[in-house]
Copies of this chain bind each other. A is one copy, B any other.
């Protein structure tokens, strides 16, 4: 029994990048109210206007602004590059106080042998967020969902589970409910934040799988 999240607003930090844009689009299609955030308010507004015209997006309500506007929503998705992660969150500490943050950052590096995990001093991007934002309800989710599938209007169902991590159980359940709003997606609770590092890093394996099999791989948890 997950909570009803249909009335909650969702802000997306870094909403002009592929992952943030894709999640904003899918959640708008699911009927959610979305604020697309960007470092530059103009870019957020433009991205929101483009998103709102995509097939099905009118089921929700999409507006745009700067990251501070996105950080003032009920649920805030951090779809940031790892490089700007700590700095952006620190600057938004006030706006994010008391809110649910969904960290979906994958700290990865790439070289001639492909993708690999990058060590994070705090253990994971999610734990870094929790350290920087002691007054925010930090969760982690949406690491493995293919941006290509999310942003393709022709894809009617994104058939994957979303692993949701968090030490704040009601916050994690809220995020599970949000993920499950996306057609095809199921939000599965997958442990505490201290076990977020391997979930973030597993994205490197999914990229390796994509390269080997020419796929947009996702994950399903069996027997749940």
Q: Smallest CB–CB gap between A128 and chain B, Å? A: 17
Please give, as numbers and ranges, the residues of chain B lying within 8 Å of A194 by CB-CB distance: 113, 116
Complex CA distance for A216 and B189, rounded to whole angstroms: 14
With contacts A217-B221, A219-B219, A223-B217 taken as known, whether A117 is within 8 angstroms of B191 at the C-beta atoms is no
Name A189-224 residues within 8 Å CB distance of B.
Answer: 189-192, 194-195, 197-202, 204-206, 208-209, 212-213, 215-224
Majority secondary structure of chain A interface residues (helix, strand, loop or mixed): mixed
Q: How many residues does chain A have at the interface if contact means C-beta atoms less than 8 Å apart?
A: 39
Is A72 at the interface (CB under 8 A from chain B)?
A: no
Q: Are A218 and B217 in contact (CB under 8 A)?
A: no
Instruction: Give the Cβ gap from A181 to chain B, nearest Cβ, in Å.
Output: 19
Query: Number of copies of this chain in the oligomer?
Result: 2
Q: Complex Cα distance A209/B172, Å?
A: 13
Cβ-based interface call for A94 (8 A): no
In the bound complex, do residue A223 and residue B218 qualify as a contact, i.e. CB atoms below 8 Å apart?
A: yes
In angstroms, Cα B193 to Cα A113, docked, is 11
Contacts of A199 in B (CB 8 A): 198, 202, 205
